[in-house]
Structure 1
Amino acid sequence: MDGVSELASEPSMLSTALGLPYTDAVVIAGALVLGITSGVLGAFAVLRRRSLVGDAVAHATLPGVCVAFLVAGMKDVPGLLLGAAIAGLVAALLMVGIERASRIRPDAAIGVVLSGFFAFGVVLLTHLSNSSDADQAGLENYLFGQAAGLLERDVAVMAGLAASALLVVGVLRRALTTTLFDPAYAGAIGLPVRALETVMTALLVVAVVIGVRVVGAILMVAMLVVPTVTARQLADRFPRVLVLAGLIGAAVGVTGALTATRGQLPTGPVVVLTGFTVAVAALLLAPGRGVLWQARRLAARRRTVRRDAVLTQPDAPVSGLRDRLVRAGLRRRGLLAADGTLTAAGRAAAAETAERRALWTAWLEHGPSIRLPDAREPDPTDLRGSLGDDAVAQLRALAAGAPR
């Protein structure tokens, strides 16, 4: 009986706490740790537009694992993870160095490092597979992932790394956020921008190292990107995005792991497919930002434009099916009489439309001159609701030529 089977047959605090068999409990716990960590730490890479750096770092962990095995002579998980971390950090710093020391574009630098490190890893892995050392069996799992081979002590190592990385984020959150969104301002106020960027890169390496055992180097980039993409559809402020990304990553990891264990499917691909499904749903359905929500809002605005055109020019010739449908809708609402003239309610609606257009014209002409309490996006169909009564009063005064 191998080590995993022996541990699976013994009582475990983790399996007892979750009420699941040992293997299932360990896989779910590992996916939970991975989801939270990759969600929070991956946000820094995604919002820096450096997502592919995570992909390159993930692929670069393979030679690190192989070299660590050659040095140690055994598959010691902490040692292998240390080798993966060192290789990932070297790859990340090499990408930055190539980018800054030459005219090579960032995407080309990423491609050079990714292909070079991954090719070196494949060569080392093939060499080890052809050797007579039986202990090398299973190293390929760092490439494709094998969550079922996790042990409780492996999850403990992953959780320790995750807790340390999240603690760094908590302590340096303000400095990291400032450097992330405005490095020039961060440097102007005395923050060590280069050091903080290195910290963000190191955090990305930690997330990758935690995830390679669960989803593998090839699919790890999805766990870095999916939670933040989903959270960004649901929140605007960075602290909320961080929290939501961690929660979404946790939910994706646990749901995917449960589905995989129940269906006897590979954990990594199922977790990634679960995340993909969640991300697509958010892109389509997120309130205010989803594709379907935007399409619905655009269709409503087009209907408003057509309705306003009929209200301002009710005697214009009828052209096309849409115009007929708009007029039929106005008649049902009592704004248009059967003979095509405006009713009293229609004339009031036409006056409101004229006022709204006049306000929008005033905004286009005098918008930069008015005082707003914060950054607001004007809505052409509801300028008062989007800007407020005070802004509308200022616009009217400017349009009339009176002092504010």
Structure 2
Amino acid sequence: MDGLVALLGLPYTDAVVIAGALVLGITSGVLGAFAVLRRRSLVGDAVAHATLPGVCVAFLVAGVKDVPGLLLGAAIAGLVAALLMVGIERASRIRPDAAIGVVLSGFFAFGVVLLTHLSNSSDADQAGLENYLFGQAAGLLERDVAVMAGLAASALLVVGVLRRALTTTLFDPAYAGAIGLPVRALETVMTALLVVAVVIGVRVVGAILMVAMLVVPTVTARQLADRFPRVLVLAGLIGAAVGVTGALTATRGQLPTGPVVVLTGFTVAVAALLLAPGRGVLWQARRLAARRRTVRRDAVLTQPDAPVSGLRDRLVRAGLRRRGLLAADGTLTAAGRAAAAETAERRALWTAWLEHGPSIRLPDAREPDPTDLRGSLGDDAVAQLRALAAGAPR
């Protein structure tokens, strides 16, 4: 920790907060990915809220605010809540979202009752337990960060050892069961990993906001990567960057660490949703606009004598004239006729794909691009389409 203090040039307390946020970001990013990609993000929210009664019960049993003991109580309560949700789903006709709502509200209400009871008691040691609800990173001690780091290292080691089995169970539990993997046990392991992530984070961001740290890194990483191993690594790095950036911003501005960390993650996630290459909303809008321009251009190339229908048509024709495809009198130039022939061929290939696509042989599952069928499917597939369209044997 002394090395971190010297490296950052910050006071000791601020360095401890940043170290805790770093551990939280890496752990919640990697472990939260399993919940997000299982479509069980709200389970993390329910588990986070369920840690409050666990903390209160642990204090009632021990009588002191011993951090490892309180985290153990939080972990037990979170695991019981997660298993109870699974049990309610399997033993009844209640939908998963309803089971999550029942468990979340019940455990959280019990925690609030216990917290209020302890606040009204004469025991002065109970002061500060509400920090597990809202988070108070400023109250972290070096030994607290050490406990968090130990839990994080153990959880990440489990992910590293069981990654293949966990990945198979995550995406195809039926196949995992068919090849002999213990699906129920692996699902329980994923749930336990989620509980570990929540337990690590409740001291920093609190039970209410913890779900954001489980979801934001994976949402951002999923916008930037397709393969699950890359998503895991990216989610951990993004979580670390969000945690450290938010903690630094909070310490500089004398603001609450948890909300600032979450707001930082929210900003990063929104930016990724808007700007991610190939997936972002603005990227998709740009691609859609380009396709619309291509459709309008093709319409003019195939029917240059059609009457001008509006401003967009005039702009398209002006663009074609600038590119040398359309003469001043509205007829196609030599380059325009070549472009029109290319357009007609592309349309013919797409028509052939719609009619004969299921009949051709492809080496893998490919997504055809209507604007570039040859580039997306390959020369062999295009040759098969042409043969089928012409009625010749393949």
Aligned mates of 2:287, 2:36 — CA distance in 1: 28
Q: Offset of 1:208 from its aligned partner?
A: 0.2
User: Do the aligned partners of residues 2 and 25 (structure 1) sit closer, same or farther apart at CA in structure 2, a change above 3 Å counting?
Assistant: closer
Counterpart of 1:352 in structure 2 is 342
Counterpart of 1:222 in structure 2 is 212
Q: Offset of 1:17 from its aligned partner?
A: 5.2
Aligned mates of 1:370, 1:248 — CA distance in 2: 42
The Cα offsets for residues 196-242 of structure 1, whole Å up to 9 and x where unpaired, read as 00000000000000000000000000000000000000000000000
Q: TM-score if structure 1 supplies the norm length?
A: 0.96
The Cα offsets for residues 150-187 of structure 1, whole Å up to 9 and x where unpaired, read as 00000000000000000000000001000000111111
Aligned mates of 2:9, 2:329 — CA distance in 1: 74
Q: Offset of 1:341 from its aligned partner?
A: 1.1
Counterpart of 2:94 in structure 1 is 104
Q: Offset of 1:30 from its aligned partner?
A: 0.3
- Most deviating of 24-33 and 392-401: 392-401
The Cα offsets for residues 287-314 of structure 1, whole Å up to 9 and x where unpaired, read as 0000000000000000000000111111
SS in 2 for 1:117: helix
Aligned mates of 2:366, 2:2 — CA distance in 1: 63
Q: Offset of 1:384 from its aligned partner?
A: 1.1
SS in 2 for 1:280: helix
Counterpart of 2:274 in structure 1 is 284
Aligned mates of 2:2, 2:153 — CA distance in 1: 30
Aligned mates of 1:173, 1:67 — CA distance in 2: 34
Aligned mates of 2:63, 2:250 — CA distance in 1: 32
Aligned mates of 2:303, 2:103 — CA distance in 1: 64
User: Do the aligned partners of residues 2 and 35 (structure 1) sit closer, same or farther apart at CA in structure 2, a change above 3 Å counting?
Assistant: closer
The gaps in structure 2 that reach 5 residues or longer are: none
SS in 1 for 2:296: helix
Q: Offset of 1:56 from its aligned partner?
A: 0.2
Q: Offset of 1:78 from its aligned partner?
A: 0.3
Aligned mates of 1:70, 1:51 — CA distance in 2: 30
The gaps in structure 1 that reach 5 residues or longer are: 4-13
- Most deviating of 14-23 and 188-197: 14-23
SS in 2 for 1:334: coil
Q: Percent identity?
A: 99
Aligned mates of 2:330, 2:275 — CA distance in 1: 39
Aligned pair partner of 1:147 in 122, 128, 137? 137
Q: Offset of 1:374 from its aligned partner?
A: 2.3
Q: Offset of 1:332 from its aligned partner?
A: 1.1
The Cα offsets for residues 67-124 of structure 1, whole Å up to 9 and x where unpaired, read as 0000000000000000000000000000010011111111000000000000000000
Q: Offset of 1:2 from its aligned partner?
A: 20
The Cα offsets for residues 359-382 of structure 1, whole Å up to 9 and x where unpaired, read as 111111121222222222111011
Q: Offset of 1:24 from its aligned partner?
A: 0.7
- Most deviating of 280-289 and 386-395: 386-395
Aligned mates of 2:191, 2:313 — CA distance in 1: 57
Aligned pair partner of 1:63 in 37, 53, 62? 53
- Most deviating of 384-393 and 65-74: 384-393
For 1:195-214, what aligned pairs fall within 5 Å after superposition? 195-214=185-204
User: Do the aligned partners of residues 374 and 2 (structure 1) sit closer, same or farther apart at CA in structure 2, a change above 3 Å counting?
Assistant: closer
Q: Offset of 1:385 from its aligned partner?
A: 1.4
Aligned mates of 1:227, 1:316 — CA distance in 2: 52
Aligned mates of 1:184, 1:204 — CA distance in 2: 22
Aligned mates of 1:63, 1:16 — CA distance in 2: 39
Aligned pair partner of 2:16 in 2, 26, 44? 26
2:307 equivalent to 1:307: no
The Cα offsets for residues 259-310 of structure 1, whole Å up to 9 and x where unpaired, read as 0001110000000000000000000000000000000000000000000011
Aligned mates of 2:218, 2:2 — CA distance in 1: 39
Counterpart of 1:10 in structure 2 is none
Q: What is the number of equivalent residue pairs in this alignment?
A: 394
Aligned mates of 2:227, 2:357 — CA distance in 1: 26
Q: Offset of 1:348 from its aligned partner?
A: 0.5
SS in 1 for 2:235: helix
- Most deviating of 90-99 and 329-338: 329-338
Aligned mates of 1:157, 1:368 — CA distance in 2: 57
Aligned pair partner of 2:328 in 326, 338, 347? 338
Counterpart of 1:85 in structure 2 is 75
Aligned mates of 2:27, 2:48 — CA distance in 1: 15
Counterpart of 1:11 in structure 2 is none
Q: Offset of 1:326 from its aligned partner?
A: 0.7
User: Do the aligned partners of residues 241 and 2 (structure 1) sit closer, same or farther apart at CA in structure 2, a change above 3 Å counting?
Assistant: closer
Q: Offset of 1:403 from its aligned partner?
A: 2.6
Q: Offset of 1:18 from its aligned partner?
A: 4.2
Counterpart of 2:63 in structure 1 is 73
Q: TM-score if structure 2 supplies the norm length?
A: 0.98
Aligned pair partner of 1:171 in 161, 164, 174? 161
